[in-house]
Amino acid sequence: MNPRASLRSRIGIGIAVAAVLIFTLFPVYWMVSSAFDKKASSGGQSLLPQEFTFDNFAFVLTEGGFGTFLRNSAIVAIVTVLVSALVCLLAAVAVARFRFKFRTTVLMMILVVQMVPLEALVIPLFLQVKSLGLLNSILGLMVVYVALSLAFGIWMLRGFVAAVPVELEEAAYIDGASWWRMFRSILLPLVMPGLVATSIFSFITAWNEFIFAMTILGAETDQYTVSIGLKSFFGLFANDWGSIMAASTIITLPVMIFFVIVQRRLASGMVAGAVKG
């Protein structure tokens, strides 16, 4: 390749990278910089922050009640992650390691379930929860979120379990290893990347979910998770953009840190689930 063409293609790539970064990061930058900018609440803001302040964050965490919302969301997300990881792993072992009647039917059913829109589920589940007297509690939400993360988790883990060489298990079996030992020392370490990916998915589902939180939690602000908390905050302080962006930053931050740390495992998990399946 001659040097001029290579230089031109490098400039092209540079421009493309810049465009991608601007599109990707501008909303994030705008959210964070507005959160720290006094002008965002009073008007007259410009592209660069002008008057640095922590007031928005202080206001959001005290008056806004986001301390409670964050705690609720953390509880909901952690319980969802643990329960769905366990349930998904069991189911994934069943569909990846055993040939049984209706196996394909089960797999198809799980995939179809994933397609059901939440708007369709929210009506019957709301009426059901209401008749059980369980409205306004995060307990009901956790159960729903586990159900929402199952389909994806089973499909993803299935690929990982199938990729574990059967010979390894055979060898352990011949050596007299118990089922539990075999599971813990062979299967578990090898499917760990898949479990990580599944856990991220269910964490995000639980942390971000909006329609069920809005419907089931109703007016019980003590039980609000972050997404419905942000909506009610917006309803109260509609023009205080500085505080709304501070609240947005606070609830985005945990997810972002989590994502950046695990991103490599996540990518390999996604593809393994998609291809090796």
Partner 1 sequence: MSMVQAPLPATKAESTSAPVAGGRPRRGLSLVKARPWLLLAPGLIILAVLMLWPLIQVFMYSLQDYGLREINTGESNWIGFDNYVEALTNPTLWTVVLPNTVGFAAVAVFATVTVGTLVALLLARLGTTWRVIVSSCIMVAWAMPAVTGTYVWTFIFDADRGIFNSVLRDMGLMDQSINWFTNQWSFYAIVLLNVVHHGFPFVAITVLAGLLGVSKEMLEAAALDGAGAWRRFWKIIFPTLKPVFSVVIILSTIWDFKVFAQVYLMPGGGGGNRSVLNLGVWSYVESFGQNRYGFGAALAVLLTLVLIGITIVYIRSLMKEDEL
Minimum separation from the CB atom of position 31 to partner 1 (A)? 5
Task: Identify which of 191, 181, 15, 234 has the alpha carbon closest to the alpha carbon of residue 88.
Answer: 191
Asked whether the beta carbons of 141 and 212 are under 8 A apart, the reply is yes
Say how many C-beta atoms besides its own lie within 10 A of residue 186's C-beta. 18
Does 205 interact with partner 1 (rule: CB under 8 A)? no
Task: Identify which of 273, 234, 276 has the alpha carbon closest to the alpha carbon of residue 111.
Answer: 273
In the bound state with partner 1, the residue whose beta carbon lies nearer, of 21 and 192, is 21
Does 181 interact with partner 1 (rule: CB under 8 A)? no
Structure tokens at 25: 């990061």
In the bound state with partner 1, the residue whose beta carbon lies nearer, of 4 and 105, is 105
Does 239 interact with partner 1 (rule: CB under 8 A)? yes
Return the range that interacts with partner 1 (CB under 8 A); candidates 52-60, 63-71, 188-196, 256-264. Answer: 256-264
Minimum separation from the CB atom of position 238 to partner 1 (A)? 9
What are the phi and psi torsion angles at 167 (to 5°)?
A: -60, -40
Strand partners, 114: none
In the bound state with partner 1, the residue whose beta carbon lies nearer, of 22 and 58, is 22
Minimum separation from the CB atom of position 222 to partner 1 (A)? 19
What are the phi and psi torsion angles at 52 (to 5°)?
A: -70, 135
Asked whether the beta carbons of 277 and 158 are under 8 A apart, the reply is yes
Judged by CB under 8 A, the number of residues near partner 1 is 106
Does 116 interact with partner 1 (rule: CB under 8 A)? yes
How far apart are alpha carbons 261 and 267 in whole angstroms?
A: 12
Q: Residue written as tokens 């001029």? A: 4
Which of 2, 52, 117, 132 is in the footprint of partner 1 by CB under 8 A? 117
Mark residues 120-149: x for contact with partner 1 by CB under 8 A, - for none.
xxxxxxxxx-xx-----------xx-xx--
Minimum separation from the CB atom of position 237 to partner 1 (A)? 12
How far apart are alpha carbons 80 and 146 in whole angstroms?
A: 5
25-84: contacts with partner 1 (CB under 8 A): 25, 27-28, 30-31, 34, 43, 45, 47
